[in-house]
Structure 1
Amino acid sequence: MSGDHVTVAREGRLTIVTMNRPASHNALNAEAHEELAAAFDAFAADPDQWVAIITGAGEKAFCAGHDLKQQASGGGMATPPSGFAGLTSRFDLAKPVIAAVNGVAMGGGFEIVLACDIVVARAGASFALPEPRVGLAALAGGLQRLPRNIGLKHAMGMMLTGRRVSAEEGLQLGFVNEVVDGDVLGAARRWAEDILACSPMAIRATKEAVLRGLDESTNTFLEHQWALPAMAAMLKSQDAVEGPAAFAEKRTPAWSGR
């Protein structure tokens, strides 16, 4: 399901979504946002797709954020209900998403990264929320997610100056999981393979519980977590039987995702 600005490839249980506007540093216009929203709608709805990777086309940019040329010409800054790139406000997506950052991730591009669960960056990639430098603010979740990822003072140091952070500094700060010298998409695939070795039901329950639990005290959430949709689905799933059986029989589990 590819479009003019986005390509989608499926490799077994893995969906790879590529922002494909390299001449514009993969900055997103209205059409690109809608195509990305549709791609993630399809990923979320497909029971056979368990993990997604999002990356950018070309060698220079992951995503340079909003297409400011569109905004300057009166095109506005509207995004789909599911947020920037159809991802940053998609709070009900329990399936994991990996960012393969192949170049600059600026503004909304960095907010896409912060909305992902695992971040792999190529050496030479850089990150920033430079919106104040053009009279704007990071309104696609960056103002909320960055402090949670790296702490208030580090986040303020980035957000109030708009300064760029290298992939290596991102690793030190904690919003990057791995920096690679070469094939960043290959590294992201490796992370995906490790996730796919686990039960997708358990992965979804884990992601949902972790993200929901950020807003509650531990003692309160320990009671609430049993009622979460992905947790309830995991506990009554075939995978919850298959996992212990495979362990007892000393074999590789055959996950069904059901």
Structure 2
Amino acid sequence: MGFATVTQDGAILTVTIDRQERLNALHSPAHFELSGIFDTFERDPGLRVAIVTGAGQKAFCAGNDLKFQAEGGTLERPATGFAGLTKRIGRTKPIIAAINGLAFGGGFETVLSCDLAIAAPFSRFCLPEVNRGLVPMVALHLLPRQLPMKVAKSLLLTGVEFGAEEALRWGLINEISEADSLMSVARQWADRIVSASPVAVATSMDIIERGLANPDITAGFNTEYDSFKRLQASDDFIEGPRAFAMKRKPQWR
């Protein structure tokens, strides 16, 4: 039985977590299934952007399936982490979260691991782990990089729940969209990315990640990036300025 559905429209892949009976909470088999989906996405040269969302109108992903764990289910996860995303290093293609309800625990960490995020107005976010004697290991690293430290600690140390308006104000999501237009808005963001040079997008993804890993910004400026060398050697590096000068759309190769 599959725990996610996958659809492709041109260069855009939509991945829908589908465990509605558990508010799209994930268990070990679902993590491995999603990891395989995103492995394929990363390898497929015809795919440029992925959108990940949850089935139904209640939850994006309610986190770890504690019922499965209580029933004696395995806690094993792939090296790529929760949902096959939270520990996936070296991605070259953007992933957009379309949040349609609860994003708790690992579901919230999945949002933090995506590159862009759009949320329905009724979406709720929470890292409740400290109230269960646990800690959100991924969020402990990601959230302080995405929020002012005191805001990050207020969420991590209390497990307080908050909504889409707060998420937007803090910069955790890019936009709030009504539920009936959520996927079309996510698609608009994806289309904007698809219209850009795939080599330039991959280069940007690489340098952003490497720059965040190096606190010395001067060293970052002076680093020689293999991805940038590949961009300079690509047809896109010539095609972009040429198309601009000729006042036409670029033909990326």
Q: Give the structure-1-normalised TM-score.
A: 0.94
Distance 2:135 2:193 in 1: 34
Distance 2:213 2:2 in 1: 39
Displacement, 1:153? 0.4
- Runs of 4+ more than 6 Å apart: none
Displacement, 1:142? 0.7
Q: How does 1:1-258 map to 2 (within 5 A)?
A: 4-139=2-137, 141-182=138-179, 183-216=181-214, 217-224=216-223, 226-228=224-226, 230-256=227-253
Is there any run of 5+ residues in structure 2 with no aligned partner, and where?
none
Deviations 1:4-41 (A, max 9, x none): 10111111001111101111100011111111001000
Q: How many residues align?
A: 251
Maintained 8 Å contact 1:20/1:57: yes
Give 3-state SS (helix, strand or coil) of 1:80's partner: coil
Distance 1:231 1:127 in 2: 36
Deviations 1:163-217 (A, max 9, x none): 1110110000111110112321111101001111110111111111112101221
The letter for the 2-side match of 1:247 is: F
Distance 1:82 1:232 in 2: 27
The letter for the 2-side match of 1:83 is: G
Give 3-state SS (helix, strand or coil) of 2:6's partner: strand
Distance 2:57 2:239 in 1: 43
Give 3-state SS (helix, strand or coil) of 2:8's partner: strand
Distance 1:176 1:108 in 2: 16
Deviations 1:98-146 (A, max 9, x none): 000011000000000000010100101011111111221102x111111
Identity %: 43
Give 3-state SS (helix, strand or coil) of 1:160's partner: helix
Displacement, 1:231? 2.3
Is there any run of 5+ residues in structure 1 with no aligned partner, and where?
none
Give 3-state SS (helix, strand or coil) of 1:59's partner: coil
Distance 1:203 1:59 in 2: 32
The letter for the 2-side match of 1:246 is: A
RMSD: 1.1
Q: Give the structure-2-normalised TM-score.
A: 0.96
Distance 1:72 1:231 in 2: 48
